[in-house]
Structure 1
Amino acid sequence: MGSLKKIVIVQVLNAFAENGKGGNPAGVVLNADELSDKNKLEVSKKVGLSETAFVSKSKTEDYKLDFFTPTKQIAHCGHATVATFSYLKQIGLLKNDSSSKETIDGRRKIEIIGDLAFMEQLVPKYTDVNNEESIILKSLGLKKKDLIPNAPIKLVNTGNSFILIPVKNNEILKNIIPKFDLISDVSDKFDLIGYYVFSTDTKSDATSRMFAPSYGILEESGTGMAAGPLACYLFDILKIKKKTFHIQQGKYMKEPSSSMIIVKLQINEGEIKNLMAGGKGILNRQLKIEIDD
């Protein structure tokens, strides 16, 4: 007798779609209560997208979400959260405009505004990485003169850690040739998801690129958990005093898939007290994945 096979249905949604196109595809598996972590990893590997969200029942929140990349589980994923809650809204499973998710890293509030889903992130923590500046520049093939003057490279965490690298213009951003082995070394040293390189020389508030090779993601088209830190950086460090930031990503990938991530900051007496990052999820296709039971 051969081993038993199990069929798992995966919805693929493009989160952070810009004008109904592009976006970052994420897998969404509903009713995942019976799947083991090993099953989830196998599904994620076979789906082959940067993240897949597994939705199961929660005793404390509306839903429990587990996120897997093709190589490991991660605590949070902005675009897969947006994909999941957009989909739950579209199929009529969300009754209210306020919802919540339970994750391995605690609970987060979710807000639905029209057909956009927003996820709460934590207040930003900034860490100095000046000592690593030369290796960070080298890992992107950049020179010091390519950076925005008086805008330090910073590690920012609103739930996941990213190193933010401000470059002078879109031309520099577009022409970056990442050295993934070096980026992985820096990422492992600081326990990062990856790098978020950005330029403010753009129609939206910033245009960005995200590299996360140590998570098996060479480049990603829309990263909500990185756009949150970037909006905080723009507000706190570049002193752009706005409450809503529009962050574009994915435009300069080998196969461009332009995404738009909206970050809303709640400010009290000049300080960020809360932030929500979100956008729109559009159903792209459905997959049937066969795994060993």
Structure 2
Amino acid sequence: MKTYFVDSFTNEKFKGNPAAVCLPNRELDITTMQSIAAEIGFSETAFIKQIKDNTYSIRFFTPKIEIPLCGHATLASSKIIFDTTLFDTIKFINCNNIELFIEKVGTKIKMQFPVYETEETEVPQKMIDALGISKIANKRYSPINKIILIEIESAIELANLAPDFTALINSYTGINGALVTAISDNENFDFQYRYFWPWAGTNEDPVTGGVQTFLTKYWATKLNKTKLNAYQSSSRTGSMSTELLQDKVFILGEAVTVLEGEFIL
């Protein structure tokens, strides 16, 4: 099975978020795909298969579970298709039959994702302590994504968070992750964030595009602007531009291929 490793949301190798892109030449069952994702060990592995012309099915697996949407693995998959075909647009169809429209814009890739609402929620003190947060500015919950959003006041504190992941995973059940965000202290960006998800994937996702389904609207409403620049202050770092347009969010980013090979099945 042709397999690629791609660093997403960066133009530098070994930065951004690594994703595996697999192109199976036959149908694979869920157990096999899950085993492959666990073997590779990246936060996400994408399996793509051409349906017709520039339309592809796409499925995403963490080392633990299948998830319906993933920004950086979609970006990685798009990078491979654009580099190996003559297409300049792509339509992906995910496991929930959601259509993701992708286009090539110069050296960057523009992805169209749906927008999801957030609602008020309570965050237990155990989770706050496990994350190492001193003070919360706001808290929301994305029910479709099963992600808790926590805003704090300092981008410096955000960058310096060192969660106790054992305590974190024991502080809450029934969610996929906890996203911590703050207004940026860098004039080139509007907001910064980090995403911790030991419940469903790895301890920390280096750069996360899928959370923009609700995070872009959160900051667009707060900052009263529809075009934003985001920075993920993980150890690998990464960035993207987003634009809110009614019920859609456009995510613009770059990616770098670092490995091409064959996965032996």
TM-score surpassing 0.5?
yes
Find the partner of 1:212 among 178, 181, 197: 197
Q: Say yes or no: does 1:261 pair with 2:240.
A: yes
Q: Is contact 2:228–2:242 with CA below 8 Å preserved after alignment?
A: yes
Find the partner of 2:159 among 144, 158, 174: 174
1:75 Cα shift? 0.9
Residue number in structure 1 paired with 2:248? 274
* Secondary structure of 1:290 counterpart: coil
Residue number in structure 1 paired with 2:209? 224
Find the partner of 1:30 among 3, 18, 23: 23
Residue number in structure 2 paired with 1:123? 115
Return 5+ residue gaps in structure 1 as ranges: 1-7, 267-271
Q: What letter is aligned with 2:182?
A: S
Q: Say yes or no: does 1:234 pair with 2:216.
A: no
* Secondary structure of 2:82 counterpart: helix
1:1-293 correspondence to structure 2 within 5 Å:
8-18=1-11, 22-58=15-51, 62-94=55-87, 96-97=88-89, 99-112=90-103, 113-130=105-122, 132-144=123-135, 147-148=136-137, 152-156=138-142, 160-185=145-170, 188-189=173-174, 191=175, 193-203=176-186, 204-236=189-221, 238=222, 240-249=223-232, 251-252=233-234, 256-266=235-245, 272-291=246-265
* Secondary structure of 1:41 counterpart: helix
Q: What letter is aligned with 1:53?
A: A
Q: 1:174 to 1:123 in 2, by over 3 A?
A: closer
- Greater C-alpha Rg: 1
1:59 Cα shift? 6.7
1:261 Cα shift? 2.0
Q: 1:119 to 1:230 in 2, by over 3 A?
A: same
1:69 Cα shift? 1.1
Q: What letter is aligned with 2:140?
A: K
User: Structure 2-normalised TM-score?
Assistant: 0.88
Residue number in structure 2 paired with 1:4? none
Could you report, residue by residue, the CA deviation over 1:122-165 in whole angstroms, capped at 9, with x for unpaired residues? 232112113x2533312312233xx33xxx211135x5232211
Q: Is contact 2:132–2:163 with CA below 8 Å preserved after alignment?
A: yes
User: Structure 1-normalised TM-score?
Assistant: 0.81
Q: What letter is aligned with 1:177?
A: A
1:274 Cα shift? 1.6
Q: Alignment length, in residue pairs?
A: 262
1:279 Cα shift? 1.0
Return 5+ residue gaps in structure 2 as ranges: none
Partners of 2:12 and 2:38 lie apart in 1 by 29
CA RMSD, 1 decimal:
2.3
Could you report, residue by residue, the CA deviation over 1:210-231 in whole angstroms, capped at 9, with x for unpaired residues? 1010123111111101133221
